[in-house]
Amino acid sequence: MWLYLAALVGLYYLVRWYRERQVVSHLRDKYVFITGCGSGFGNLLARQLDMRGLRVLAACRTEKAAEQLRAQSSDRLETVTLDIGKTESITAATQWVKERVGDRGLWGLVNNAGISGPSGRNEWLTKQDFVTTLNVNLLGTIEVTLSLLPLVRKARGRVVNVSSVAGRLSLGGGGYSISKYGIEAFSDSLRRELAHFGVKVAVIEPGSFKTNMSNTERVLRQIREGWNQARSEIKEIYGEKFLESYLKLISEHVLPAAEENLSEVTDCMEHALTACHPRTRYSAGWDAKLFYLPMSYMPTFLADAILTRGLPRPAKAL
């Protein structure tokens, strides 16, 4: 019996391996629009797809970042400045894309741009802190997608949304995890709606990687800013000792564990864009595959116990 079961499992993975190796034809004629190409995953993906021969339309937040990307790429790659937190910027970029793709439509839309946002304990933050992050990571992504969807539908193409393991497990306060949970929900509904038009939607769920968003100085500064604006009674409840222990945990244990090989993420993105049979979800990074993803299926009490183990206790905790 066990032999038959092993053979069945082996056959399943063999068929899946074969299907996932099939590549879409005429890639050199296909346009892909990527947001957040100034650094990190977006920057590497833009150069990676450019080398693959696709027609890359790369959106960067600043012209300086766009110039640097163009200097590292072929003449086929084109750039545009885009702030996905601003409707007028999205409108202008949408028109720019339309002028370039013409009747071919847009084969791929990669929603990669995002911010880590103000962070720290939820009680330290204000409503505006949450709004700032959600406006970019979630609402900005939704607006970009809705603006470009007619072009993607015309090409019967792909939408690739970058979520996070934080979209499965909330790993800290602030709007980041909330925005990524929202991306998961948006992607699910979009996938079902667009299946009727031949459009495929994939979600990338990276673990912890070393990018500008996870820069140690940046993260610690954002946490301190959250602490500094907290009400005096909240600071008294937590205490300065909690803050210092929390910062030490983040800087010495959490951030140093981040992976450096960003291609683990961009390879997933590339597969979602170029494979005939892309996956619905891609977990990138060993921490995502072996820790966060399995934990998201654990009983809540067990996941809570693991995630809070080693955390400092507030001064006035029970």
Q: Please, what's the largest Cα pairwise distance for the chain?
A: 66
Please give the pLDDT value at position 309: 87
All structural domains of the chain, each given as residue ranges with its CATH number in brackets, are 26-214+259-298 (3.40.50.720)
Extract the tokens encoding 149. Answer: 């969807």
Which residue is associated with the tokens 């049979």? Answer: 277
SS3 242: helix
Write out the two tokens for 43: 């920057």
The better pLDDT of the pair 121, 2 is held by 121
- Judged against a pLDDT cut of 90, whether residue 252 lies above it is answered with no
The model's confidence at residue 22, banded by pLDDT at 50, 70 and 90, is confident
Q: Phi and psi of 157, rounded to 5°? A: -100, -145
Mean pLDDT over each residue of the chain, to the nearest integer: 93
**Pick the catalytic residue: 12, 18, 31, 176?**
176
For residues 106-129, give the mean pLDDT.
93
Give the pLDDT mean for 210-217. Answer: 86
pLDDT at 3 over 90: no
In this prediction, residues 51-63 reach a mean pLDDT of: 96
Query: 137-156: buried (b, 16+ CB within 10 Å) or exposed (e) per residue?
Result: bbbbbbbbbebbbebbbbbe
pTM of the entire predicted model: 0.93
- Find, among 225, 240, 259, the residue nearest to 40 by Cα: 259
Decide if pLDDT at 317 tops 90: no
Residue 176 is a catalytic residue: yes
